[in-house]
Amino acid sequence: MSRMRGIEIRGLKAKLYDQLVFAGTLGLYQRVLEDAIARMKIGPGERILDLGAGTGKNALLMRSYIGGGGGITAVEASPEMMRSFEAKCGVYPNIRLEEGRIEKPLPYREAYD
């Protein structure tokens, strides 16, 4: 478990994460994300648990599939990423952010699609 402590992205890297990934992959990562989420076959009304939710970019993409009737619970450990997530997703009542570490047991057994 101690090896996992360094996985959070912090500081300036966290603040600029989406821009750095976009530039570093020449925009390819965005297309990969969109394709991967489309292949998940997410439907309206589904409940999704987003572990390591980062800046909220994935949650916004998934929200377009679940609509207003579904819900996303996002779990993130990095305070900087949580701030970015809230800035992007805080206006959507069906996207909820929780602080948590993904390597620890979480109380969500059988609660999500």
Q: What percent of the chain has pLDDT over 90?
A: 61
Rounded Cα distance between 112 and 95, Å, is 13
In the prediction, which pLDDT does 40 show? 95
What are the tens digits of pLDDT across the range 39-86? 999 999 999 999 999 999 999 999 999 988 899 999 999 999 999 999
Mean pLDDT on 86-103? 94
* pLDDT at residue 7 is higher than 90: no
Q: Whose CA is closest to 48, among 12, 92, 80?
A: 92
In the prediction, which pLDDT does 9 show? 82
In the prediction, which pLDDT does 44 show? 96
Mean pLDDT on 12-40? 90
- Take residue 50 and report the two structure tokens written for it: 């987003």
Beta bridge partners of 49: 73
58: which residues sit within 8 A by CB, 6+ positions away? 33, 37, 50
Residue-by-residue DSSP string for 8-29:
S--HHHHHTHHHHHHHHTTTHH
Beta bridge partners of 51: 75
Given a contact cutoff of 8 angstroms between Cβ atoms, the answer to whether 57 and 88 are in contact is yes
Residue 107: pLDDT band (50, 70, 90) is confident
Average pLDDT, the chain: 88
Global confidence as pTM = 0.83
In the prediction, which pLDDT does 42 show? 95
